[in-house]
Structure 1
Amino acid sequence: MCGIAGWVDYGRNLKDEQPIVQTMTDTMALRGPDARGIWIDAHAALGHRRLSVIDLEGGAQPMRAVEDSKTIACLTYSGEVYNYVELRETLKRHGHTFRTKSDTEVVLRAYLEWGEACAERLVGMFAFAIWDVRKEQLLLVRDRLGVKPLFYQPFGRGVLFGSEPKAILAHPQMRPHVGLDGLRRALSVTRMPGDAIYDGMREVKPGHIVRVSRDGLNERCYWKLEAREHTDSLDVTIDTVRAHLERIIEQQTVTDVPLCSLLSGGLDSSAVTALADKRLRQRDGHALRTYSVDFPERGVPFGADHSRDSRDTPFVRAFVEQLRTQHTEIVLDTAQIAAPEVRRAVVDAYDANWKIGSDMCPSAYLLFNTVRRDSTVALSGEAADEVFGGYRWHHQPQFLEAKTLPWKMGLADPARVLTPELCNALRVPEYWADTHDQVCHATPTLPGETALAQRRRELSFLGLTCWLPNLLDRKDRLSMAVGLEVRVPYCDHELVQYLFNVPWEMKSFDGREKSLLRAACRDLLPDAILQRKKSAYPATQDPAYERMLQQRMADLLANPSPRVQQQFDRDAMRSLIDKPVGESSINWHRVDVDHTLALVDWLERHDVEIIV
């Protein structure tokens, strides 16, 4: 998978700046524990940390293309291009020769053949930088759905870039400054494509290329969702979905290191796992390794809530009993999830406060850490809800009628724990409303669509544009923090484009969410899983977790740091812990306590300066 970093400056000789470039690159060590390398030219420096997945012996980076003993281009690349074998054959017919079996060299040669148009030929999850020595030009390229992160910041007469903000902030002239816009994004689990948290920093938009030259920075979109008329019948649509899924799994089970699947017992992960297990048995002759996560009951019976109405474990066991995968159940103790060192690791992985769920991020980090002991690559069911229409907001009337971000409907202002002056300046609810309106205005539609059909498109586009990036961030940051590559089959751009245009009447033809996915995989799954309602990522129901959070908040209030004194409303913080401990699997004031503690950790650990 890997981590990349670099620096381009047309106003200085970067050959004198190797220590800085090495420091920037080494911040990506957790993303790439297997090897490191840097390449420096007069005005460009590229760094790479490698997680070896394809062609373990070859594929070292940064990778150079050489002609007549001279470097003509250099690449630092993160991700996986799943159609690299087919592209290699095409490039061979164009006269290219290859020294390695890696997809990295295919990307480099594809650039030499097609220029920046090479991005349109790549299928996969990727973020890379290519320095063209002949043109003295840098290209920053990101995959279509934004699975792999890539940040950049104009600096001097050029740019700094990296897989994560920490690579850019490692430059001695960078400071972790956050303005009001950045703080809104950090607090609200909502951002527009391209936005970053730190002042002056940007993220390469999904499906975009940023070109850096002596003339400055230019951005170009090479892919975006389009509205198209869907003419397939229901039967053809189901068959097409299945064909896409089989193609995707065929591509994404190719690896030279141990592969596994993350299994929740829900429809999404079970479908991916069943297809992958079938393919591995046919091709490699062995069952797929699978992992699930659960929590000890601690004497508290399971309590259903709006996010989950059943425990995962019985469904996981039904799946494993029928398919006979090589399965491991990982049970996480409450003390592990609440441990200060785990929470610090999560904040450091994010370069910010974590923004989704309560214990979900620490537990995901611990899950990935355990999985990494035996596997290097994992398949995930992430994004099926966004693609197939699995959330309540896709079908319940109150969300269809409300003109607001659906995942924010009914939630309190997250800035209320800050000082009244800062909260008033942030105006987070207005930021949510503006984001909603901007994305809805940009939603592609077809002429003659009904208002209801258009609203359903808006909700789908909102989810793919502003909500899914948070889930992909969580998966990428927490898995790469332990050197685990997680692949997301449902983010295949052809599948996403196809499903974006399928009418809701087909997506819910059996009266339930994700009807097409259920129908496409009906022959593979136990009936219990086919009938199971959507359930969110599991959360601990142990009241001790909430008590630990409340105690830490109480300690923070009893001995507040200067930052807490200056920037937080201690009465508002105190109100979060004056409420009784809940017994449901998730309650919103517990989430608020968790997020507030993470916010304090981030601001203090990274010495963030808020610029008002």
Structure 2
Amino acid sequence: MCGITGWVAYDSDLTLRREVVDAMTATMSLRGPDECGTWVRPHVALGHRRLAVIDLPGGRQPMTVTTPRGEVALVYSGEAYNFAELRAELTALGHTWRTSSDTEVVLRGYLEWGDAVVDHLGGMYAFAIWDERDNRLVLVRDRMGVKPLYYLSTPDGVLFGSEPKAILANPLAPRVVGVEGLRELTVFTKSPGWALWRGMREVEPGTVVTVTRDGIRARTYWKLDARPHTDDREATVARVRELMTDTVRRQLVADVPRCLLLSGGLDSSAITGLAAARLDERVRTFSVDFVGQEENFRPDWVRDTPDTPYIRDVVRRIGSDHRDVVLDPAALTDPELRRAVLRARDIPVGLGELDMSLLLLFKAIREESTVALSGEAADELFGGYKWFHDDRVDVDTFPWIAYLNGGNAGHVPPFEPGLLAELELDTYVADQYRTAVARVDHLDGESAREARMRTICNLHLTRMVPLLLDRKDRASMAVGLEVRVPFCDHRLVEYVYNTPWSLKSFDGKEKSLLRLAVEHVLPTSVRDRVKSPYPSIQDPVYAAALQQQVKEVTTESGHRVFDLVDRAWAHRVSELDPTRMAPTDRVDLDRFLDLYHWIDLYRPEFAL
């Protein structure tokens, strides 16, 4: 895994701006701690930071090939899990090799098939190719958008990078945030192509962006299409089992230590069980927990049980080398940890200890492993959330927003009243919902129920999964850890997405299809466990510490955070009883502190 960046300027000489290219590349140092490389020509500069995972000595970048008509250069982040098959195919077509890396397979694939190389690749990746033969830049992002890639148009070209910080390191990039950017920070959905910073765009999943002197053009090469499903239940279960087994096998390939993220839920336990059956070595597993959480656990509206007993059941079954990363409130409320999360994510996302505990978990894992497999996207693909099985999914908004907010469009953040009015959040969410629904493809003759559930599944895969993948990518890459997500294998996604809802929930339980397909590698307790989300600390000491930090900020009369946030709210919430605090108040404490530190770190200009 790596970080990539670059600059195309058709009317400038970039050989005179190497220091800027170096600065852009340096922002990716945490994503790629092993090596650094740049490639600069008069009108193009490419930068690369490498986390070595496959072919450690041979995968250096930028990687180039000289053709009779000019050089072709590649910077690449990710993994092509089918690179061995593609290498054999390209060898048969006459290609020869300098390395054993998947990077060279992607580059040679482009030389053979041009932009159509995307139709041959399977995996998670974001890459940029400069083709001197026609002086164009090609930006590519994988089908599900596992790996990030952003770009910003300039007067004579484009800037791009794995993360916005790489683009912001260039003086041509404005650090301006407008109303259109702030809206997305307040609702739990991600519109395709959104980036917080004005003028910046994210390459959408399954998209090729081509830059020439004539401008920028985007082409979608993959999306969720509706296709007939003809397999019966037995054949469907067998196919899901086959696909799951194969994608876990492929994603275990690495020349560095590997491990599994284990929460004790169905998804991570399934991947762990499948991996253990495949590996000759003893499996390493990691989980996150909080001091006293199991002994003092209280069921709440989203979590019925603690994770720890189920984790122990999985560890006993497969005999893994397991480590619990146990955190306390003092670690999670350290302002420097919050600032590290914000530097990783570039945006004040407001998930608080959910993000901070994830970063600490990944930091601990990186001490022993470089690659980890995780269970992201299974709930969205197989229908694991409670609201899939609740009448409130029929509300005309994003189902998770309706469920989590009692049918309302969303929780209103503690912004200044004037800013709130300008944001028009209810209207924004409604517009985004209508836009998302309009993009869903349906089969002729689909029943109303099946059509509705297809729409709901599509919304989760296109508007919720991107949020979760971005969170996982930023937190993991901030410590140089590569996290792979088998449930995002496009073959599995295409197959399960087109499986009728009646098969996905044939026994009335969530993720019925997945449970049956992987029950052979699970303990009974985990097979029958009800969905439980990523763990959250319940200790009121955490909220009390946040309140104290907010109280200290309120003494700073001139801080720009109060251009956005209502100061009266900050005073009120800092005086609440932390043992009786509403969940939304604690969320807002984290959101406020994220904004406060983010403004200090990024110095944005607000155009409101």
TM-score normalised by length of structure 2:
0.97
Partner of 2:19: 19
Report the CA distance shift for 1:566/1:587 in structure 2 as closer, same or farther (over 3 A): closer
CA distance in 2, matches of 1:188, 1:298: 29
1:606 is aligned, of 571, 580, 602, to 602
Contact 1:176 1:607 in 2 (8 A): yes
Query: Could you say which residue in structure 1 is the equivalent of 2:365?
Result: 371
CA 122–294 in structure 1, closer or farther in 2 if over 3 Å, else same: same
The 5 Å alignment of 1:158-197 reads: 158-197=157-196
Equivalent residue number for residue 153 of structure 1:
152
Letter in 2 for 1:223: W
User: Is the CA contact (8 Å cut-off) linking 2:248 and 2:486 kept in structure 1?
Assistant: yes
What secondary structure does 1:417 align onto? Answer: coil
1:357-377 alpha-carbon deviations (Å, 9 max, x no partner) = x41100000000000001000
Instruction: For 1:469 and 1:583, locate their aligned partners in 2 and report how far apart those are by CA, in whole Å.
Output: 33
Q: Specify which of 293, 299, 306 is matched with residue 301 of structure 2.
A: 306
CA contact (8 A) 1:419 1:568 kept: yes
**In the alignment, is the contact (CA less than 8 A) between 1:300 and 1:542 conserved in 2?**
no
Alignment match, 2:239? 240
Q: Deviations over 1:150-178 (max 9, x none)?
A: 00000121100000000000002323111
Q: Which of 288, 293, 309 is the equivalent residue of 2:283? A: 288
Indicate the residue corresponding to 2:511 in structure 1: 514
Structure 1 counterpart of 2:425: 428
Give runs of aligned pairs for residues 538-553 of structure 1, distance below 5 A.
Answer: 538-553=535-550
Quote the residue 1:597 is aligned against: 593
**Matches for 1:127-142 after TM superposition, within 5 Å:** 127-142=126-141
Contact 2:38 2:46 in 1 (8 A): yes
Tell me the CA shift for residue 579 of structure 1. 3.4
Q: Is the contact made by 1:300 and 1:541 (CA closer than 8 Å) also made in structure 2?
A: no
One-letter identity of the residue aligned with 2:596: V
Which residue of structure 2 lines up, in the alignment, with residue 265 of structure 1? 264
Q: Equivalent residue for 1:36?
A: 36
CA deviation digits over 1:456-512, x for unaligned, max 9?
111111111111111001100000000000000000011111111111111111211
Q: Is the 8 A contact 2:299 2:305 kept in 1?
A: yes
Report how far residue 605 of structure 1 moved. 1.8
Q: Give SS of 1:522's match.
A: helix
1:43-58 alignment runs, 5 A limit? 43-58=43-58
Does the aligned pair in 2 maintain the 1:354–1:361 contact within 8 Å? no
Question: What SS does the corresponding residue of 1:369 show, helix, strand or coil?
Answer: helix
Farther-moved stretch of structure 1 (297-306 vs 550-559)? 297-306
- State the distance in 2 between where 1:583 and 1:536 align: 22
Could you tell me which amino acid in structure 2 is paired with residue 103 of structure 1? Answer: D
d(CA) in 1 for partners of 2:26, 2:300: 43
User: C-alpha distance in 1, partners of 2:558/2:533?
Assistant: 35
Between the aligned partners of 2:558 and 2:461, the Cα distance in structure 1 is: 39
Residue in 2 that maps onto 1:276:
275
Post-superposition shift, 1:290?
A: 0.6
Q: Deviations over 1:390-433 (max 9, x none)?
A: 1122121122x200112222268555422111111111121111
Aligned Cα root-mean-square deviation (Å) = 1.5
Separation in 1, partners of 2:189, 2:492: 24
Q: Match of 1:609, as an amino acid? A: E
Alignment of 1:87-486 (within 5 A): 87-281=86-280, 286-297=281-292, 301-356=296-351, 358-399=352-393, 401-409=394-402, 410=405, 416-486=413-483
Shift of 1:554: 1.3
Residues 1:527 and 2:520 are matched in the alignment: no
- 8 Å contact from structure 2 (residues 179, 423) kept in 1: yes
3-state DSSP of counterpart to 1:521: helix
Q: How many residues align?
A: 604
Structure 1, 575-584 or 303-312: larger mean CA deviation: 575-584
**Contact 2:260 2:286 (C-alpha < 8 Å) held by counterparts:** yes
- AA at the equivalent of 1:426: L
Q: List runs of 5+ in structure 1 lacking aligned partners.
A: none
SS at match of 1:447: coil
Q: CA deviation at 1:306?
A: 2.1
Asked if the contact 1:415–1:426 (Cα under 8 Å) also holds between the matched residues in 2, the reply is: no
1:555 Cα deviation after fit: 1.3
Q: How far did residue 186 of structure 1 move?
A: 2.1
Counterpart among 477, 485, 489 of residue 488 in structure 1: 485
Distance 2:303 2:396 in 1: 26
Mean CA deviation greater in 556-565 or 23-32:
556-565
Q: CA deviation at 1:577?
A: 3.3
Residues 385, 514 of structure 1: 8 Å contact kept: yes
The Cα shift of 1:81 comes to 0.3
Secondary structure in structure 2 of the residue aligned to 1:4: strand
Structure 1 residue 300, shift from structure 2 partner: 7.1
1:553 is matched by which residue type in structure 2?
A: V
- Structure 1 residue 575 corresponds to structure 2 residue 572: yes
Q: Which amino acid aligns with 1:8?
A: V
Which structure 2 residue ranges, 5 or more long, are not aligned?
Answer: none
- Matches of 1:124 and 1:599, distance apart in 2: 35
Q: Within 2, Cα distance between the matches of 1:36 and 1:446?
A: 49
1:398 partner letter: R
Whole-angstrom distance in 2 between the partners of 1:567 and 1:583: 26
Whole-angstrom distance in 2 between the partners of 1:231 and 1:136: 46
Deviation of the 1:582 alpha carbon: 3.6
Please give the secondary structure, in 2, of the residue aligned with 1:171: coil
- C-alpha deviations, 1:7-53, integer Å up to 9, x for none? 00111111111110010011000000000000011211100000000
For residues 168-210 of structure 1, what are the alpha-carbon distances to aligned partners after superposition, in whole Å with 9 as ceiling and x for unaligned?
Answer: 0000232311111111112223221111110000000000000
What pairs with 1:3-14 in structure 2 (closer than 5 Å)? Answer: 3-14=3-14
**More displaced 10-residue stretch of structure 1: 77-86 or 286-295:** 286-295
Distance 2:325 2:563 in 1: 41
Mapped to 1, the partners of 2:562 and 2:284 lie a distance apart of 49
8 Å CA contact 2:240–2:517 kept in 1: the answer is: yes
Cα pair 1:393 1:459 within 8 Å, conserved: no
Cα 1:466–1:518 change in 2 (3 A) is same
Query: 2:350·2:590 contact (CA, 8 Å) conserved in 1?
Result: no
Offset from partner CA, 1:307-363 (integer Å, 9 cap, x none):
21111111101110111011111111111111111100001101011244x411000
Q: Does the C-alpha gap of structure 1 residues 314 and 196 become closer, same or farther in structure 2, counting only changes over 3 Å? A: same
Task: Spell out, residue by residue over 1:557-612, the C-alpha distance to the aligned partner (whole angstroms, 9 max, x if none).
Answer: 2334431333321122333334322479x922211211121122212321111112
2:500 is matched with 503
What is the percentage of aligned positions where both structures have the same residue? Answer: 49
The answer to whether residue 90 in structure 2 is matched with residue 77 in structure 1 is no
> Secondary structure in 2 aligned to 1:506?
helix
CA distances 1:108-133 after superposition (whole Å, capped 9, x unpaired): 00000000000111000000000001
Distance 1:268 1:582 in 2: 32
Residue 290 of structure 1 aligns to which amino acid in structure 2? T
For 1:299 and 1:540, the matched residues in 2 are separated by 11
